Structure 1
Amino acid sequence: MSLLIPVGRSSAVLAATAGLVLLGAGPALAHVEVTAQGAAQAGTGPVTLLFSAEAESTTSGIVGVRTQLPEGIGPGAVSLASAPQGWALAPIAGGFELSGPATVPGEDLAYGVTVALLPADATELVFPTVQRYADGREDAWIEPVTDAVPDPGMPAPALAVAPAPPGVTPSATPAPATTDTPAPTTAAETSDAAGSGAPEDGGIGTGTVVLLAVLAVAVAVTAGVVLRRRARP
């Protein structure tokens, strides 16, 4: 007994079947993801960031990751918090590199780093990361998520950050001046003002008083000499 499919429905059935076959045959999309251990708040620290690098290869283990740090975090402000046995962290230009013995093929890589202080003006921290395998393969998870490309194929790991607590001012933004605060004075200006003895309120300064006293003494001495000469016979 044969199974007959109406001609009108055969194309739809074949398309759906092909879609299922392609879906099952395609590789699972991996990512490098980052989360914070506890609250991630701008302008605070230290904060431990936990990374998870999913394995795309079932024949070769992961041997390292290179990560570019966001603006406001220097390589020297990052230290290793956790990693597989034998792995070590080293600072590189603009970021850090973590490497060690190859993981088990197909096994995800989990590691953590501690950041001394998060930037005070951060709202999101992006960590472009290149994942390396023992066979020389590299996966570059470096594409930013933008309005134009909201779902890139190789997205960089990103961490949302809460606003800085009250009282923390972003270093890149100077504190606004108020009318009650006098203008800052440089060291040179302070030295010049102290040496000149200039009055602060526009009155007679110390230098003027001393000069007047000297003149008064000179006048008195001169007058005394003149009077003595006139008194002589």
Structure 2
Amino acid sequence: MSRTIHRLAVILAAALTTLMALAGVAAAHVSVSSQDAEPGGYGKLTFRVPNESDTASTVGLRMQIPQEAAMASLRAMPVPGWDVTMTTEQLDEPLQAHGREITEYVSVVEFRAEDGAGIAPGEFGEFALSGGPFPDAETLSYPTVQTYSDGSESAWIEPTIDGAEPDKPAPVLALNGDAGGHDAATGAEEPAGDEADVQEAGVQEEGATTQAADGGSATATTALVLAIIGLIAGLGGLILGWTARRRTVSS
């Protein structure tokens, strides 16, 4: 009996280790959130970047802004120890902003660790962008590639279809239509001076804000926790059943 219980305990420990490892992977993807982004308004985007490698640091992050998510103005918040570059491209259909026609927009934002240190294993970083006006949409997707110091990459570029999260989901922003954004239609405007040039891809300092964890990650983690509980209950029932059968045979 003791041998059987020992074997079952070993199987249970291995299963728990596997499930907890899967839970960590499910929760460790790049996400994006905002407290003030809304259709037609201006707001701040925060990309949360966990380092999911046990041996390498995250040294690069490249975010793509598709044309359907194009904004007339986009700026990056400086991050100590990181360089930022912005790439622009021509729009297939020009945007209208503050009475001006915008024919190009920032399509790629890339952060690169200056000294190669980056985000160490077991840590996470946050990278913020500020811009607008946001398109008239409920959600916006930002395919992102995470680069590690060992040369490997994690491409968070897969679309989420019908609520089913893929293995490498692209960060998805839910626009908050109820937030008090800086909407030109309500009389609010962009910052004055040189920053008012809606074609400029400048840099704007803002305070760092800690954002809520991605909802899809929480859902996946919850499902794995429930699976662990079910596994424990199942193995416990197996042990009790085996013990009861032994007692019946002995009597």
Normalised by the size of structure 1, how large is the TM-score? Answer: 0.58
The aligned residue for residue 74 of structure 2 is 78
Q: CA deviation at 1:54?
A: 0.8
CA distance in 2, matches of 1:12, 1:58: 30
The aligned residue for residue 150 of structure 2 is 135
Does the aligned pair in 2 maintain the 1:48–1:113 contact within 8 Å? yes
CA distance in 2, matches of 1:105, 1:151: 26
Which structure 2 residues correspond to residues 159-174 of structure 1 after superposition, within 5 A? 159-163=173-177
The aligned residue for residue 109 of structure 1 is 125
The aligned residue for residue 16 of structure 1 is 12
Does the aligned pair in 2 maintain the 1:84–1:110 contact within 8 Å? no
Question: Structure 2 unaligned runs (5+)?
Answer: 90-106, 186-251
Q: CA deviation at 1:110?
A: 1.2
The aligned residue for residue 66 of structure 1 is 62
What secondary structure is seen at the aligned counterpart in 2 of 1:97?
A: strand
Change (3 A) 1:82 1:51: farther
Q: CA deviation at 1:86?
A: 3.5
CA distance in 2, matches of 1:79, 1:114: 5
CA distance in 2, matches of 1:28, 1:92: 35
What secondary structure is seen at the aligned counterpart in 2 of 1:43?
A: coil
Q: CA deviation at 1:167?
A: 10
Question: Of 27, 41, 44, which residue of structure 1 is paired with 2:41?
Answer: 44
Larger radius of gyration: 1
Question: Of 51, 56, 80, which residue of structure 1 is paired with 2:52?
Answer: 56
Q: Which runs of 4+ in 1 moved over 4 A?
A: 10-15, 24-27, 164-168
What secondary structure is seen at the aligned counterpart in 1 of 2:2?
A: coil
Does the aligned pair in 1 maintain the 2:41–2:184 contact within 8 Å? no
CA distance in 2, matches of 1:105, 1:167: 41
What secondary structure is seen at the aligned counterpart in 2 of 1:28?
A: helix
Question: Of 160, 168, 174, which residue of structure 2 is paired with 1:154?
Answer: 168
Q: Answer 1 or 2: which has greater strand percent.
A: 2
> Which has the higher relative contact order, 1 or 2, with Cα contacts under 8 A spaced 6 or more apart?
2
Q: Which residue identity is paired with 1:81?
A: M
Q: CA deviation at 1:35?
A: 1.1
Change (3 A) 1:58 1:72: same
What secondary structure is seen at the aligned counterpart in 2 of 1:50?
A: strand
Change (3 A) 1:26 1:42: closer
CA distance in 2, matches of 1:129, 1:86: 17
Name whichever of 21-30 and 133-142 sits farther off. 21-30
Q: CA deviation at 1:70?
A: 3.5
Does the aligned pair in 1 maintain the 2:71–2:133 contact within 8 Å? no
State how many pairs are aligned: 160
CA distance in 1, matches of 2:184, 2:173: 23
